[in-house]
Amino acid sequence: MKSPRKKRTVKKKDQSRNVRLKAAKHLIRWVDSGQVVYGPRESFISDSDYTFYKHLMSGVVRHWRRLEYIIGLLTGKPVEKLDKEVLVSLALGLIQLEEDSRTEPYAAINETVELPALLNKPYLKGFINANLRRYTRDRDSIRKDTERQMLGVVTSHTDEMIDRWTRQFGAERTEQICNANNILPQLQMVVNPAFDKQAVISELQKQGFQVDDVHETGFSIENPAGLFDTLLVNRGALLVQDRSFQDVNKLVASLPKTRVLDLCAAPGGKLIHIEWEYAGEIELLVACEISHTRLNLLKQNLKSYQSKALPVQSDALAPPFGIPFDLVILDAPCSGTGTIRKHPEIKWSRSPTDFERNQKVQIQLLEKSADLVKPQGHLLYVTCTLENEENRSVVDQFLKERSDRFQLVRLDSSMVDTEYLTDDGYYQCLTSADRMGCFAALLKKSVD
Ligand SMILES: C[S@@+](CC[C@H](N)C(=O)[O-])C[C@H]1O[C@@H](n2cnc3c(N)ncnc32)[C@H](O)[C@@H]1O
C-alpha cells in the first residue's frame, strides 16, 4: 500500500508541472500573438503556485532576447527555425536554471523535459533534455560569451528602443535604464497618516516582513508574500505607491486644493495618496475613469481605503462637470515605458507609431482638462513613460496653443530632488533601482 506521504509528493509534483505547463501555454500564446495575458490568481491552487507562475512568465518575457541568444548558442540553430514549443520549453528551463534558487537544477530539468509531451510534441523531449544539460555543463563559457554581446542582447531590449533612449538621454543613462529594467520591482508603500508610521513598521517587522528604504512617508518591503492578507492592509494603513509617484504627489503640496479632479483615476493610487496627504485642504475630490472594469476596481479601492472621493464613469474628452476645479490631475494613458520593471512585455510591444498615436490623445486630453481648471488654478500632467513625444512635446504643443491662458510652473529644488529636475523645469525620473520612470509638468491658468 502507498503511504499518504508518497501520494502527497506526487500531487505536489503534478501541481508544479501544471504551473510550468500553464506558463508554457501562455508564453506560446505570447509568441503567436504578441499579447502577454497572465492567468488570473483564482486559477492557481495556492499563492506559492501563482508566485512561481508569475516568476516564470515575467522572467522569460523580461530576458527573452538574451534567452534566444543562448538558445541559438546551445542548439547551433537560428531561433527562427525552432518550433515555438522548443523555444518556450528551453526558455522556461533556462530561466529556472539561471534565476530560480528554489528549484534544484536536476528538478528544473526533469520537470521541464516533460513539457513537450504535455504540449503534444513528445518527440522533442530528448532535444530539450540534451540542451538544458549542455547549459548546466557549459554555463560559465556561455555566460562569458553572452556578456560580450551588445547591450540589446545582454539586457534584452530591442535595438530600436536602445537607439531612441540613447538619442534622448545619452549612452550612459540608457545603459542604466536597461539594467534597471531588469531589476525585479520593489514593493514601495506609503503609510496612511492616520496611523503611526513607526508603529506600522514595528508591527510589520514583528510579522516577519523586511522593511527597507524608510523615508518621510513610506518604505519598501522586500518579502511581501502574505502582506495583503494582514490586518494592517485590511485596515487601510498601507498603500502601494512607487517612489516617483510619491515625488509627483508632493508637487501639489503648496497649491490650493479645495476642489480636486483626477481625470484618469483608476485604480486610484495617486488619488488616495493625495487624499491622505492633503485631507484637511480638500473639500471635493472627484475620480473620473472611462473604463467600466477599471471604474469597478477604483470603486473597490475607494471603499477599502474609506476614501471620500466621488467616482464618475466618463470619457475625459467629454467631461460632465459643470464646475471648475482648483487642481486637475491628468495622469494620462501612455506607452508605460517607465514601468518596464513591472511590465517587461512593454519592451517588445511598443513602437514609434504608438508614441505618436498616444501623443494625439494626450494633447486632446490636456486641452479638455484645461477647460476644467479655475482661473489661477493648476493642471498637473503626469505619465509613466520615458518618451519625449508623450511628455515634453505634449506640454510644449499644448502651451503653444494655450499660452494666452496657461503657463508652465517651473519646478525647483524646493519641490523636488534636483536629480529629477530638468533644465526647463519638468520632473523627469528615468527608471532606476528605486524608482519607476515618470514625467510630470505643472501648469497654471491665468485670471480671466
Ligand atoms: C495611467 S492610468 C491612471 C493611474 C491612476 N491615476 C493611479 O494612480 O492609480 C490611466 C487611466 O486612464 C483611463 N483612461 C484612458 N482614457 C481615458 C479617457 N478618455 N477618459 C477617462 N479615463 C481614461 C484608463 O482606463 C486608465 O485607468
Q: Cα of 335 to ligand 1 centre, how many Å?
A: 12
Q: Check whether residue 236 and residue 255 sit in a common domain.
A: no
Query: What atom of ligand 1 comes closest to residue 291's alpha carbon?
Result: 25
Q: At which of 149, 175, 206 does a domain end?
A: 149
Mean pLDDT within 222-249 = 92
Q: Cα of 301 to ligand 1 centre, how many Å?
A: 15
Query: What atom of ligand 1 comes closest to residue 298's alpha carbon?
Result: 9
Query: Nearest residue CA, atom 13 of ligand 1?
Result: 264
The span from the CA of 174 to the CA of 182, in Å, is: 13
Q: Check whether residue 363 and residue 400 sit in a common domain.
A: yes
Mean pLDDT within 258-277 = 97
Q: Is 264 in the pocket of ligand 1 (CB under 6 A)?
A: yes
C-alpha distance from residue 45 to each of 40, 49, 79, 121 (Å):
11, 7, 34, 26
The span from the CA of 20 to the CA of 324, in Å, is: 53
Nearest residue to 336 (alpha-carbon basis) of 221, 242, 220: 242
Exposure string over 349-378, b if 16+ CB within 10 A, otherwise e: ebeeebbeebbebbbebbebbbebbbeebb
Q: Check whether residue 322 and residue 211 sit in a common domain.
A: no
Q: Cα of 249 to ligand 1 centre, how many Å?
A: 16
In a domain, 157, yes or no: no
Locus of grid cell 555566460: 143
Q: Check whether residue 377 and residue 317 sit in a common domain.
A: yes
Phi, psi (rounded to 5 degrees) for 325: -120, 150
User: Does the pTM exceed 0.85?
Assistant: yes
The span from the CA of 335 to the CA of 379, in Å, is: 21
H or E stretch covering 311: strand 310-313
Query: What atom of ligand 1 comes closest to residue 382's alpha carbon?
Result: 1
Q: Cα of 300 to ligand 1 centre, how many Å?
A: 16
In a domain, 291, yes or no: yes
The span from the CA of 316 to the CA of 368, in Å, is: 7
Query: At 16, is the pLDDT very low, low, confident or very high (cuts 50, 70, 90)?
Result: low
The span from the CA of 334 to the CA of 239, in Å, is: 23
Q: Check whether residue 53 and residue 74 sit in a common domain.
A: yes
Q: At which of 180, 205, 240 does a domain end?
A: 240
- pLDDT for 226 beyond 90: no
Can you give the CATH number for the domain in which 222 is found? Answer: 3.30.70.1170
In a domain, 181, yes or no: no
Q: Check whether residue 308 and residue 429 sit in a common domain.
A: yes
Q: Which segment of 115-124, 262-271, 391-400 scores lowest on mean pLDDT?
A: 115-124
Q: Check whether residue 113 and residue 218 sit in a common domain.
A: no
Q: Cα of 152 to ligand 1 centre, how many Å?
A: 31
Q: Is 93 in the pocket of ligand 1 (CB under 6 A)?
A: no
Mean pLDDT within 65-90 = 96
Contacts of 111-116 with C-beta under 8 Å, sequence gap 24+, read: 111/13, 111/16, 111/17, 111/20, 112/20, 113/89, 114/17, 115/20, 115/21, 115/24, 115/85, 115/88, 115/89, 116/85, 116/86, 116/89
Residue 51: HSE in the Cβ half-sphere, 13 Å Cα cutoff: 9
Q: Cα of 311 to ligand 1 centre, how many Å?
A: 13
The span from the CA of 335 to the CA of 297, in Å, is: 21
3-state secondary structure of 442: strand
The span from the CA of 129 to the CA of 107, in Å, is: 12
DSSP 8-state code for residue 425:
S
Query: At 433, is the pLDDT very low, low, confident or very high (cuts 50, 70, 90)?
Result: very high
Q: Cα of 336 to ligand 1 centre, how many Å?
A: 12
Q: Cα of 332 to ligand 1 centre, how many Å?
A: 6
Query: At 266, is the pLDDT very low, low, confident or very high (cuts 50, 70, 90)?
Result: very high
Query: What atom of ligand 1 comes closest to residue 333's alpha carbon?
Result: 10
Contacts of residue 282, defined as CB under 8 A and 6 or more positions apart, other chains included, come to 257, 258, 259, 260, 274, 275
Question: What is the per-residue pLDDT for 13?
Answer: 55
Q: Is 296 in the pocket of ligand 1 (CB under 6 A)?
A: no
Query: What atom of ligand 1 comes closest to residue 262's alpha carbon?
Result: 6
- Domain count of the chain? 3
The span from the CA of 406 to the CA of 326, in Å, is: 14
> What is the four-CA torsion angle of 411, 413, 418, 420, rounded to 10 degrees?
-30
Query: What atom of ligand 1 comes closest to residue 288's alpha carbon?
Result: 21
Q: Cα of 253 to ligand 1 centre, how many Å?
A: 22
Probe target for ligand 1 pocket from 289, 300, 314, with the most ligand atoms within 8 Å of CB: 289
Please check whether residue 394 is in contact with residue 439, taking contact to mean a CB–CB distance below 8 angstroms: no
Q: Check whether residue 415 and residue 367 sit in a common domain.
A: yes
Query: What atom of ligand 1 comes closest to residue 273's alpha carbon?
Result: 8
CA geometry: angle 421, 274, 196, nearest 5 deg = 105
In a domain, 179, yes or no: no
Q: Is 255 in the pocket of ligand 1 (CB under 6 A)?
A: no
Probe target for ligand 1 pocket from 290, 327, 330, 360, with the most ligand atoms within 8 Å of CB: 290
Query: Nearest residue CA, atom 17 of ligand 1?
Result: 290
Q: Check whether residue 83 and residue 196 sit in a common domain.
A: no
Over pLDDT 90: what percentage of the chain? 86
Q: Is 329 in the pocket of ligand 1 (CB under 6 A)?
A: no
- pLDDT for 8 beyond 70: no
Range of the domain at 216: 188-240
